[in-house]
Chain A
Amino acid sequence: MSRRNAQILGAALALLLVWLVLFPIVVVARDAADGTALRAFFGRGGEWAALWASVWISLVSVALAAAIGVPLAFLFEWFDFPGRKTLGSLVALPVVLPPLVGVIAFLFLYGESGFIARAVQRLFGLQEAPWRLQGPAAILLVHAYSMYVYFYLFTRAGLAKLDVSMLEASEALGADRWTTIRRVVLPLVRPSLVGAAILTFMTSLGSFSAPYIFGGGFRVMTTQIVATKLNGDLPLAMVETMALAVVAVAGLMLLRRTEGDDILVALGKGIAPRPRPIRRAGVRALATAAGWGFAVLLLLPHLTLALVSLVPYGAWTTQILPPVLSFENYRRLFSEAERLRPLANSLWMAAVSTAIAVALALAAGWLIVRRRVALRRAIEALLALPWALPGTVFAIALAMTFSVHAPPLRWVLVGTATILPLAYLVRALPLTGRALLAGYRQLDPALEEAAASLGAGRWRTLARVTLPQLRPGLAAGASLAFVAALGDIVASIVLYTYETRPISIEILSSLRLSETGVAAAFGVVLMVVSALVLGIGARR
């Protein structure tokens, strides 16, 4: 392809991305410039409280996740004890729980009518449930459970890249273990820690399920926005959306600065320290017991979900454990057309949005890395933009932009089957974009040139050489995008219609009808599909 054609394609892709990810935000920003709504926003204490709640919940979530994830990473990377390998992978299990599913599992487990509360109530002969799982503490509990994994995985990856000789150099100079960790190890893994902190902060700021289910009277910005929109006060919802967007971008920029300008490159042979066996029998037993105990704690939500999904409707009243178990809920889920629909909806919408996101990312990777088109920086930034803003912001932005008929930029898509896949696509772009750009950058151009010199055309080279080489990154990006779309609630709750309702919406309405068994069965299906897809995506 000629240089000019590549430039034209690059410009076309940039324009498409501007329309998809930037234009809706601009529409919201313009609509938010409304005197009455601005006055209402700045005048009401509740708005400021919700904004502040979003910020502090996110900061505390980062601290909690780090407090759990970082020590665990050191334990599993540096020490050897029975069951280390198995436990090490079990510890990452919260990842396979989509946000809403994790939240309902917590509800069934620790909620006022959950297993634990029932047990305590029975044990002490209490009249009422011993606690209510509500407010900031409940939200933070769920966040800590689901987000420590980021710190755990990032820190382990950082530690694995450390060269043992760097630690030995410190020890040879007389430093003890703690000094070595403080002066050598932590500075070297800082990029990993900052990366995890950014991810946790952004996820927590955009978190919707936990505040929605457990918030009660306690509002954070995401739930506040959705509530305002449901109340029909659109201009105020726009102002709130922009406020959340501004906080997100400011937070991202502040956290980025702590990353520092220095790029730390691990010198040396890159041989990570071998895990040391814990020698003292007592300590080893303690570590093993703590490890397994922790694993059980992590697995409890999954087990709870599975158990509740086997309880038929109305069969479980006051007992600690359900008296009857059956596959009734699954039978209904797969035999009733109305229950099968959300499953089918979620699957096809996730598949379509992922496929398009992969195709766009592939084109972007080729144009940016191989053809180095003039607009390459713009394309890369546009692909990453949806990651910098909470999902609620985009959901509202798309809802506003595509509820007006003003071609060529705006059509009425809200209420059609197009809008949810479009919303999932926007959220998927940063995931596939980052994975494929990284893949393309690591791909030696000589591999493609070798095919070209042997007479292979562009498409054959793509199919036989480029795609197989990009497969790991492609699979990782696509599986993350697919799982995110499959379990999405943030965009779905704003944009769904009855016909296109996805699984998460069906779970919420089942809960509302007290059909906990069906909700749990949907949760299990979502969890299993997510785990399978992530497992396939992680295969090398």
Chain B
Amino acid sequence: MSRPLVDIRLDALATRGGVPPGPGGVTVHVRYGEFFTFLGPRYSGKTDVLRAVAGFMTPSAGRVLVDGQDVGARSPGARSIGYVFQEGALWEHLTAREHVAFGLEQQGLGADDVRRRVETVLARLGLADVPDRRPPALTLEQRRRLALARALAPEPRVLLLDEPLSNLDPALRERTRRELRQLIKRVGITTVFVTHEQEEAFDLGDRVAVLSAGRLEQAGPPDDLYERPATLFVATFVGRANVFRGAAARALCGGADAGDSPVVVRPERLRFTDAGLAGIVRERRYTGASAFYIVESDGGERFEVLAEPDAAKVGDRVYVQAERVIRFTENGR
């Protein structure tokens, strides 16, 4: 399949009428052929962004540009998008073959063409043995692939995925994620993906945009978000983070005056040494290769340190130093 790659620009996009508060003024540029992820907690407006791109929802402000053209006035069917719904939204009364053929028939293809392309798509997505089954007779995994097959069959310019892996169990999810990424890269299609799971976002997305309460907090490659979070929200939502203020923050910054602004340190960036922030180990959570130590500082702050399994015992008095701190201005930005 070779189709021209397109880019998507969201220009100050805002919606109303979905789950409040909804996105308010989101501007991002999804590049040609990119796998772009929107990451955010519930009610962050991430699904509304996707629905506005698909045309299921009319923006209250801003524009959606696909390949440089404003698609705001077009119906969902005229936008050349493939949409994969959270629960699949498969039609229980149609067979796998009929699902895949549905979009092709809308394009006015002849019956022979439709049949050939349905076979191709079913084979590519590993559904060749079950073309005449209806969704209730398919496994969860097959249903997920059918949802993808239905969306990809008409060769859309853009693929939109709304938490397609959320109902899989963790063990299956990791394998499925890898397959999904390989398939989409092979097809070569500009993809926008929505999830509330950081691990999934990092694993899949070329770039990730973090949304909170309808606002775009930061967009960039996963490493950037983790190592150089733009806001306190991103720092704490993306990965584990200890937030320090006041005296503890000063102690970790090597005595440099940080003012009242918060300081964030990742657990793996804290080390037990013989001097620094003093405290007592209150809990130890063993994970096998390493252990998390919950330390309570003399000032009463609790934080996590990731270290060797035998680095300390509960009740030990320890001193902690930071290898790398992330600083913020006073309001957390």
A contact residues vs B (CB 8 Å cutoff): 444, 446-447, 449-457, 460, 464-465, 468-469, 471
Contact = CB atoms under 8 A, between A and B. Distances in A.
A453 B54 contact: yes
Contacts of A456: 77, 102, 106
Nearest to B54: A453
A456 B91 CA distance: 14
A450 B77 contact: no
Given A455-B78, A455-B154, A449 B106 contact: no
Contacts of A457: 77
Nearest to A465: B91
A468 B76 contact: no
Interface stretch (B31-39, B79-87, B228-236): B79-87
Given A453-B82, A455-B106, 12 more contacts: A444-B89, A447-B91, A450-B85, A453-B54, A454-B106, A454-B154, A455-B78, A455-B107, A456-B106, A468-B91, A469-B92, A471-B93
A469 B85 CA distance: 17
Interface string B189-213: 0000000000000000000000000
Given A454-B103, A454-B154, A455-B154, A449 B56 contact: yes
A450 B92 CA distance: 13
B93 A469 contact: yes
A454 B77 contact: yes
B148 to A, nearest CB: 12
B154 A450 contact: no
23 contacts: A444-B87, A446-B85, A446-B87, A449-B76, A449-B83, A449-B85, A449-B89, A450-B89, A450-B150, A451-B102, A452-B75, A453-B56, A453-B76, A453-B77, A453-B79, A453-B81, A453-B82, A455-B103, A456-B102, A464-B102, A469-B92, A469-B93, A471-B93
Contact of A469 (B77, B91, B103, B106): B91
A454 B150 contact: yes
A271 B76 CA distance: 41
Interface string B136-159: 000000000000001100100000
B83 A450 contact: yes
A449 B53 CA distance: 13
Interface centre among A444, A455, A468 (most CB of B within 10 A): A455
Interface in B63-100: 75-79, 81-83, 85-87, 89, 91-94
B102 A453 contact: no
Contacts of A460: 106
A455 B151 CA distance: 11
Contacts of A444: 87, 89
B89 A455 contact: no
Nearest to A468: B93
A365 to B, nearest CB: 18
A464 B76 CA distance: 17
A108 B242 CA distance: 86
A446 B103 CA distance: 15
A163 B150 CA distance: 38
Contacts of B82: 453
A447 B54 CA distance: 14
B164 to A, nearest CB: 12
A527 to B, nearest CB: 32
Contacts of A468: 91, 93-94
Nearest to B84: A450
A468 B95 CA distance: 13
Contacts of A447: 89, 91
Contacts of B107: 455
A452 B56 contact: yes
Nearest to A454: B103
Contacts of A464: 94, 102
Contacts of B150: 450, 454
A452 B92 CA distance: 17
Interface centre among B75, B91, B92 (most CB of A within 10 A): B91
Contacts of B106: 454-456, 460
Nearest to A461: B77
Contacts of A455: 77-78, 103, 106-107, 154
Given A446-B85, A464-B102, A452 B76 contact: yes
A457 B102 CA distance: 12
A440 to B, nearest CB: 16
A460 B107 CA distance: 13
